[in-house]
Amino acid sequence: MESEPVICVICNDITDEKTIKFTPTTLKKSKSILKIRKLHGLKYNDVSLPGQVNDTSGYHVKCYKNFLAVMKKYHQSEPSTSSNLPTSSSDLSNTSTSSEDTSVSEISDKLCVFCQKKWKLVKCKFQNLPPVSTAEAFHSSQTKDLVQVLKAFGDNNELYEKIIKTTSPLVYYHNSCKSIAIHTLQSEMKVMKSPQKKNWRYYHQQAFNEMKIFISEEVITKKRCFSFTYLCKYYAELLEEVLKKHNEEYADYNFSTQRFEARILKRFKEIKIIKIDNKNYIALKDYLIDDKVC
């Protein structure tokens, strides 16, 4: 008498693809995943799993892979089930070991810590995920540069937090993803550590800040009057001091007397320009003209 075929309970289709019978371990894992899918209304939440292991219920490798692929955020509300993962191909099938069985046994754990994907296509070739122990990942010379970069960003760095908090004895990453991460983070660190190049606007602003203090004290508080020519010369001296502090050469500093005058009048509404003998003076609007102008 011919035995009944093993049906994939995930797709419920009879195909030429090999169907693997459930083992107690894989069935327990599947029930845990199904519980999460039902809780969050995810795809495959209507899969009907057998109550116990039998000779007619099983799964296709591809279907099982898709069924186990639940985003990590949905696992947060459930107890960790990593210890229930099958550890060898013998747990997947009562038949001989195959490469397909091995790929399914740890499929939910083998994700790149950077891109969260198993496979990555680089130059028309798929990069695999060689297992690296967590201890080796943090202390080997190959990854030392990466860890140093991550630590430099502090404990609040999302990627660094993700790695140091992992409870898995193994960590996986694509070499290309690691290289990109190192380059990106080091570039950002270089920008953070190197002071930004100061431009002329910055230098002029520093000098004008000093000029504002001078006008506030001498013109407004003490009610003195100064020639505009004097203020221009004094501003040039202030600018030269600012440049020296930043180790910049004092050369053509693109100084506009018209712009300088406009900035003063815009900043101080209570002062005005007074013309005496074709010379401009700056004083309070209620200033009385006499011979004591500077």
Residue with tokens 């994700």: 111
Q: What is the pLDDT of residue 95?
A: 36
List pLDDT tens digits, range 78-96. Answer: 444 333 333 333 343 343 3
Report the C-alpha dihedral over residues 30, 34, 35, 36, rounded to 10 degrees: 110
Residues 106-116, mean pLDDT to the nearest whole number: 63
The residue segments making up the domain with residue 182 are 110-194
Residues 188 and 262 in one domain: no
Residues 256-260, mean pLDDT to the nearest whole number: 87
Domain boundary at 172, 194, 216, which? 194
Residues 218 and 136 in one domain: no
Residues 243-270, mean pLDDT to the nearest whole number: 81
Nearest Cα residue to 232 out of 250, 251, 249, 215: 215
Whether the full predicted model's pTM is greater than 0.75, yes or no, is: no
Residues 180 and 251 in one domain: no
Is position 289 within any domain? no
Residues 185 and 240 in one domain: no
Tell me whether strands 125-127 and 132-133 are parallel, antiparallel or unpaired. unpaired
Is position 294 within any domain? no
| Residue 157 pLDDT greater than 60, yes or no | no
Q: Which is more confident, 285 or 108?
A: 285
Residue with tokens 């894989």: 26
C-beta of residue 36 within 8 angstroms of C-beta of residue 78: yes
| 80-94, 126-140, 176-190, 224-238, range with the lowest pLDDT | 80-94
Residues 279-289, mean pLDDT to the nearest whole number: 85
How many structural domains compose the chain?
A: 3
C-beta of residue 129 within 8 angstroms of C-beta of residue 173: yes
> Rounded to 5 degrees, what are φ and ψ at 4?
-70, 145
Q: What is the pLDDT of residue 85?
A: 36
The band of 42, judged by pLDDT with boundaries at 50, 70 and 90, is confident
The 3-state DSSP class for residue 48 equals coil
| Residue 190 pLDDT greater than 80, yes or no | no
C-beta of residue 85 within 8 angstroms of C-beta of residue 106: yes
Residues 54 and 137 in one domain: no
Q: What is the pLDDT of residue 89?
A: 37
Q: E strand or H helix at 280, and its extent?
A: strand 279-284
Domain boundary at 60, 85, 109, which? 109
Residues 6 and 68 in one domain: yes
